[in-house]
């Protein structure tokens, strides 16, 4: 989002002096999309305080706002020192990593896959051995229909199995590429908006959800996301993927 668009959004939310829950979600999405670092976040916050200050005419009100800004800056500086001094943070607990594990049989893995397609905003790169679960296919198509750019890389032989949904995805206009060698492309991973990785043994099939012992890892670890992104791009280029 452009700086001017962010400015206009902030001014609209300032009109009534309230930030609704919906506006909070939009702001959170903007901050996620912009991927702001500490310095840019600090600059944005200072700008927000200035916008609020410009609406106040009572000197006492302006003083209260400046007091609040100084308190926040001081507490943030202290928090950064604490986090820097202790990898475990101020609570003494190891910080929660941006990763989760799920297992089947059961609905957990399926729900996570479906949920990420439902919340995808811009891009999804899928690299899976086979897709036969219509519940997942419906969400792939729904994301495609609302403008999410989706690429699917899969095994050529498995795509010909009865129940495979790959031809259905191709007919809907998705970019699809196949391996073309005697060895199988056996990966099972997907990247959502370039920031979230889903990977594990879990095949995108009904038997994986209802019968098999499978696992699914969901992570936003940037090193892992980048490693799988590079693997996808390499395979996509190797197998002639377009787009």
Q: How confident is the model over 159-214, as pLDDT tens digits?
A: 988 999 999 999 999 999 999 877 888 999 999 999 999 999 999 999 999 999 99
Cα separation of 219 and 112, whole Å?
12
Give ranges for CATH 3.30.870.10 in the chain.
Answer: 99-238
CATH 3.30.2010.10 fits 99-238, yes or no: no
Strands 214-219, 149-154: parallel, antiparallel or unpaired by DSSP? unpaired
Read off the pTM. 0.61
Tokens at residue 29, please?
């999405």
Catalytic residue IDs: 186, 188, 193
pLDDT at 236 over 90: yes
User: pLDDT for 109-156, tens place per residue?
Assistant: 999 999 999 999 999 999 999 999 999 999 999 999 999 999 999 999
Higher pLDDT, 241 or 188: 188
Cβ pair 235, 153 in contact under 8 A: yes
User: pLDDT for 41-100, tens place per residue?
Assistant: 777 778 878 888 888 888 777 777 778 777 777 777 776 666 666 555 445 554 555 799
Cβ pair 198, 116 in contact under 8 A: yes
Q: What is the mean pLDDT of residues 1-19?
A: 75
Cα separation of 108 and 215, whole Å?
10
Q: So what's the pLDDT on residue 33?
A: 67
Distance of CA 151 to CAs 13, 147, 170, 187, 191, Å?
Answer: 37, 13, 10, 14, 10
Q: What is the dihedral of CA 128, 96, 212, 192, to 10 degrees?
A: -20
Q: So what's the pLDDT on residue 243?
A: 47
Q: So what's the pLDDT on residue 23?
A: 75
Confidence of residue 2 (pLDDT cuts 50, 70, 90): low
Cβ pair 36, 43 in contact under 8 A: no
Higher pLDDT, 196 or 34: 196
Rg (CA), the chain: 23
């Amino acid at each position: 989002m452009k700086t001017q668009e962010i400015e206009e959004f902030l001014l609209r939310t300032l009109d009534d002096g309230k930030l609704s829950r919906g506006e909070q979600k939009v702001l959170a999405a903007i901050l996620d999309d912009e991927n702001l670092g500490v310095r840019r976040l600090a600059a944005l916050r200072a700008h927000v305080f200035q916008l609020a200050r410009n609406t106040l005419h009572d000197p006492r009100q302006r003083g209260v706002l400046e007091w609040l800004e100084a308190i926040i800056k001081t507490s943030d500086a202290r928090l950064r020192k604490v986090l820097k001094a202790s990898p475990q943070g101020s609570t003494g607990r190891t910080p929660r990593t941006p990763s989760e594990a799920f297992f089947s049989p059961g609905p957990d893995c399926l729900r996570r896959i479906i949920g990420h397609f439902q919340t995808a905003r811009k891009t999804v790169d899928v690299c899976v051995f086979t897709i036969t679960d219509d519940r997942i296919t419906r969400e792939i198509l729904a994301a495609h229909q609302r403008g999410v750019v989706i690429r699917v890389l899969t095994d050529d032989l498995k795509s010909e199995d009865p129940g495979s949904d790959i031809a259905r995805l191709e007919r809907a206009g998705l970019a699809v590429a196949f391996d073309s060698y005697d060895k199988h492309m056996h990966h099972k991973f997907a990247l959502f908006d370039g920031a979230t990785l889903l990977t594990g043994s879990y095949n995108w099939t009904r038997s994986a959800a209802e019968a098999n012992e499978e696992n699914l890892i969901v992570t936003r670890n940037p090193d892992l996301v980048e490693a799988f992104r590079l693997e996808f791009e390499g395979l996509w280029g190797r197998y002639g993927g377009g787009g």
